[in-house]
Structure 1
Amino acid sequence: MIKPTLVIQDLSAVSQISLTVAIAIFQALDLPIAVAPSTLLSTQTEGFGKPVSLDTTDWLEKSFRHWQKSQITFNGILVGYLGTVGRINQLSAWIRANQLKPVIIDPVMGDAGALYPGLDPAIVSAMQKLCQQADIITPNLTELHFLTGENTQDVTKLLKVASKMFGCRVILTGVKKGQYVNSYLLGAGKDNLTVASSSYYPGHFFGTGDAFSALLTGWYLKGFSLPMAMQRATKDLQIAVRQTATLSSKERKFGLKTAAMLQQILAEG
């Protein structure tokens, strides 16, 4: 029986990010996927002004009931941007009721030291509760600071606090160190860090966090250990970033160039 992995995050009509990229990655890895848009957007939320949005909360609730009635089960769940306290609480209740495994959460809330525009500050406490149901979370540094209440730059300390707080594996993503961008994973029951590094390219790249979490989830579901899945996700994402780096900042607003990355995944998978 086919058991797809459920991916729930935003869907932008314009821009190669979020659900659009996740679908392509899962297809390249030959993994069955089910999608649930947490919100529908006319464009991504940065670079095009305020997008037109469609709230899917009611649709999600009815879909949850339909899936249960139809006895559809899932091979885990990947959670990305949810956007409201209500949707976070809604999803938290559904995950708890269905006991999904694995639960992988990218707690999309902010970057560069601040919450994303338009988010209710109460989203932090709601996300903390959701992360307590996770097996793996993949925050950036800003999100990890919000989740833990710690302001330290000490990566090991942050990961220890978060691991204890949420009872799950924590991958800290997108940390710039000199000419590299690093992701960090604390060893299970140990003090050692696994570090995955990629070359730094100047400028902003939209959707890298979405792509990383989808790649990580995909390789993990293919049977790779979490450290190895992190390394492979980092290597694959580097290909997309390198290809996108040739574009102007105006062109980058449309998201990552993924053709070369997907070709590499097909060759490896």
Structure 2
Amino acid sequence: MNKIAQALTIAGSDSGGGAGIQADLKTFQMRKVFGTTAITAITAQNTLGVFDIHPIPLTTIQAQLKAIAEDFNISAFKIGMLGTPEIIECVADSLKQYSFGKMVLDPVMVAKGGAPLLQQNAIQAMRTFLLPMADVLTPNLPEAQALTGIEIVDDNSAEKAARQLQAYGVKTVVIKGGHTNDSNSEICRDWIFTPSTDFVVESERYPTKHTHGTGCTFSACITAELAKGAEVEQAIRTAKEFITAAISHPLGIGQGHGPTNHWSYNK
């Protein structure tokens, strides 16, 4: 039996290499997990912005997932950028046919530079087709607010939003606090709500613009840990340490929102 953990990422391609499929594969590799992919869209982007988006045909997305299912032993997978209601429904239908293990859903909606990566009419499709399937959901504050309609400003409103997401069917909700309006705060707080316990994880807030791909990297690390058999809580804590190291040791690449440092945690 092959004991090498294998994971899958279903997401868009980032030509700048800092987010999307590229960030996921780098994270899988650093966590000693073999990564496979199903690409949902090709984007033309760099640290300055997103300049073009080309959705992949539904039949090609289906074919990628079928190919992975027929030849790999996937024990955890993550979903990132999907973009359209049609792609969301296509992926959800395909997932009903295959066993890919635990599912981590990163509801990617907006690129770091502000470009929309999810059509507005796709939010309801995500609620309907994907949230009920998610073992772990990792929205940032704007994404959690878009999915629930609840403004998150403190612990109480974060819990209210998380309970709403769990009512949609999500098992564990991780609401990332990096977008908090309290930019003067020296601490970045994430709220975690599991079926059995609630807790927070905190880290120092680092003043840097090199944060492109943080959400992708964080959710990919959770996926990698789950693929290796870690419990959900430990996977989240490891991912928090991983992304904190990646943000706090920037590479200084690009003229805009540069990528995080996927090497830093292992060093």
Alignment match, 2:193: 186
* Cα pair 2:31 2:221 within 8 Å, conserved: no
* Secondary structure of the structure 2 residue equivalent to 1:107: coil
The alignment-based identity, stated in percent, is: 19
* Secondary structure of the structure 1 residue equivalent to 2:226: helix
Instruction: Give distance in 2, aligned partners of 1:64 and 1:122.
Output: 24
Task: Using the TM superposition, give the Cα deviation of residue 111 of structure 1 relative to its aligned residue in structure 2, in angstroms.
Answer: 7.9
- Gapped runs of 5+ residues in structure 1? 265-269
In 2 relative to 1, CA 236–97 (structure 1 residues): closer, same or farther, beyond 3 Å? same
* Cα pair 1:82 1:88 within 8 Å, conserved: yes
Instruction: Give distance in 2, aligned partners of 1:71 and 1:219.
Output: 21
* Cα pair 1:96 1:133 within 8 Å, conserved: no
In 2 relative to 1, CA 72–224 (structure 1 residues): closer, same or farther, beyond 3 Å? closer
* Cα pair 2:9 2:38 within 8 Å, conserved: yes
Alignment match, 1:138: 138
Match of 1:226 among 221, 224, 232: 232
Question: Residues 40-189 of structure 1 correspond to what in structure 2 (within 5 A)?
Answer: 40-44=42-46, 47-48=48-49, 50-51=51-52, 53=54, 55-67=56-68, 70=70, 72-110=72-110, 116-117=115-116, 119-129=118-128, 130-153=130-153, 154-175=157-178, 176=180, 178-189=185-196
In 2 relative to 1, CA 164–259 (structure 1 residues): closer, same or farther, beyond 3 Å? same
What is the one-letter code of the residue matched to 2:238? R
Alignment match, 1:26: 28
Instruction: Give distance in 2, aligned partners of 1:36 and 1:254.
Output: 25
* Secondary structure of the structure 1 residue equivalent to 2:97: helix
Alignment match, 1:198: 203
- Gapped runs of 5+ residues in structure 2? none
* Cα pair 2:109 2:117 within 8 Å, conserved: no
Name the one with the larger helix percent.
Answer: 1
| Cα RMSD (Å) | 2.6
* Cα pair 1:19 1:37 within 8 Å, conserved: yes
Question: 1:60-86: per-residue Cα shift (whole Å, max 9, x none)?
Answer: 122334456x45452232111111111
What is the one-letter code of the residue matched to 1:39? A
Task: Using the TM superposition, give the Cα deviation of residue 181 of structure 1 relative to its aligned residue in structure 2, in angstroms.
Answer: 1.4
* Cα pair 2:136 2:171 within 8 Å, conserved: yes
Alignment match, 1:267: none
In 2 relative to 1, CA 188–20 (structure 1 residues): closer, same or farther, beyond 3 Å? same
* Cα pair 2:12 2:82 within 8 Å, conserved: yes
What is the one-letter code of the residue matched to 2:37? V
In 2 relative to 1, CA 144–91 (structure 1 residues): closer, same or farther, beyond 3 Å? same
In 2 relative to 1, CA 251–186 (structure 1 residues): closer, same or farther, beyond 3 Å? same
Task: Using the TM superposition, give the Cα deviation of residue 210 of structure 1 relative to its aligned residue in structure 2, in angstroms.
Answer: 0.5
Task: Using the TM superposition, give the Cα deviation of residue 167 of structure 1 relative to its aligned residue in structure 2, in angstroms.
Answer: 3.9
* Secondary structure of the structure 1 residue equivalent to 2:96: helix
How does the TM-score come out when normalised to structure 2?
0.83
Question: 1:111-159: per-residue Cα shift (whole Å, max 9, x none)?
Answer: 89xx953642111001112111111111111111121222343112211
Task: Using the TM superposition, give the Cα deviation of residue 203 of structure 1 relative to its aligned residue in structure 2, in angstroms.
Answer: 4.4
